[in-house]
Amino acid sequence: MPEKDAAPSETPAAEAGAEGGAAKPEVKEEAAAAAPPQKTMKSVVLTGFGSMKMIKVQQKPEPKLADGEVLIRVKACGMSFPDLMVRQGVIDNPPKTPLILGFECAGEVEAVGENVTDFSVGDRVIALTDFKAWAELVSVSANTVYKIPDNMSFHDGAALLMNYITAYVLLFDLANLRKGQSLLIHSAAGGVGVDIVLDCLCGEDTNRGISILKPMGKYLLYGSSNIVTGETKSFFSFAKSWWQVDKVNPIKLSDDNKCVGGFQLRRLLFRQSQYGYVRNVVDSLLDLYRQGKIHPTIDSVWAFEDVGEGMQKLHDRKNIGKILLDPSKEPVPKTQGKGCEQAEANVENGPGEKSESAVNGE
């Protein structure tokens, strides 16, 4: 994919046409006729696949609320490896750019669509979304919105959602973790046998990882952070994973008393529609939170304008805990002499350019 397949200047109109039905000539009559002055919101937009430079903070039309959806005023957004993979275009069936990034957020219900019975305006919620979560407002199917306890901050909610669901499913449904078992969180293991391997790297080490499993061991793939390597090139590492990982014979697995499987949360929700399964997991997690048994660790919270810096930290695996975005947060003032790499990541937002960046989409 070329880095600049969508120039920033043509972005807003196209997006508005797709989402708000305002500006494009081929828009339907009724929408055009009814259109009041379009309200906009700040959002983190991927303008094309590639490096950090492809991410811009832009004004976008506020989302419309469809049947069964909940409109959320976003207070915190979670960031994780799938966001990096989307930026690089290394997911299958990549969506068209420009798009608003983001798969999870916490916030307050601002409006509820028809046929939504479980939520009311003012509810404090967390939500899993199929893109579009990194904005001041997002409209989400009620199927993937979850109320949070009063004592849970929005930051905690956004930090807990995706990562804790994955951990919970892997350990307590798939691996069925028991007292005394050994657990290896990636696959680059030594020669010792382990009971459970959680592999998010998924490459040539995967074959070795399966081979070092103890009898009754379980090898579980999740995500594929190995694919996120350099800044841009990564289709090849994606393909490489497929070639490097050997197919396994179910009969041999059985003879060895081993299990192999995996978990991909976004697929489970947005392709396989397993809302009930995920809701049960979220309920369990919120119970654990209420009981004080789990508490997410937050590495850092960034303004939308500083999304590049947060993303770079995640890319470099320098975070300890969750990286969050907060739409209400002021961007960190930039010093003139700042290192080039970080400045690049800080999307089009040099010193004194804040207003330009903020209205970039208008």
Q: Does 206 bind a copy of itself (CB under 8 A)?
A: yes
Tell me which H or E stretch contains 314.
Answer: helix 307-315
Residue 76 C-beta: closest distance to a copy of itself, Å: 27
Q: What is the CA radius of gyration of the chain?
A: 21
Q: Does 216 bind a copy of itself (CB under 8 A)?
A: yes
Secondary structure (H, E, C), 225-244 = HHHCCCCCCCHHHHHHHHHH
Using the rule CB under 8 A, which residue among 52, 85, 101, 210 binds a copy of itself? Answer: 210
As to burial, measured by CB atoms within 10 angstroms (0-12 exposed, 13-18 middle, 19+ buried), residue 42 is buried
Using the rule CB under 8 A, which residue among 16, 44, 74, 221 binds a copy of itself? Answer: 221
Stretch that binds a copy of itself, among 5-13, 265-273, 296-304, 353-361 (CB under 8 A): 265-273
d(CA 214, CA 236) in angstroms, rounded, equals: 32
Residue 281 C-beta: closest distance to a copy of itself, Å: 10
Write each residue from 224 to 253 as x if it is in contact with a copy of itself (CB under 8 A), else as -, in one continuous string: x----------------xx--x-xxxxx-x
Residues 166-185 that bind a copy of itself (CB under 8 A): 169, 173-174, 176
Contacts with 315 (C-beta within 8 Å, 6 or more apart), sequence order:
84, 228
Q: Does 208 bind a copy of itself (CB under 8 A)?
A: no
d(CA 240, CA 236) in angstroms, rounded, equals: 6
Pairing type for strands 104-112 and 69-79 reads antiparallel
Using the rule CB under 8 A, which residue among 10, 277, 287, 362 binds a copy of itself? Answer: 277
Q: Which is nearer to a copy of itself, 198 or 323 (CB)?
A: 198
Nearest CA to 259 out of 204, 200, 196 is that of 196
Q: Which is nearer to a copy of itself, 184 or 298 (CB)?
A: 184
User: What is the residue whose two structure tokens read 């080039």?
Assistant: 340
The residues of the shown chain that bind a copy of itself, judged by CB under 8 A, are 169, 173-174, 176, 202, 206, 210, 215-216, 218-222, 224, 241-242, 245, 247-251, 253-264, 267-268, 272, 274, 277
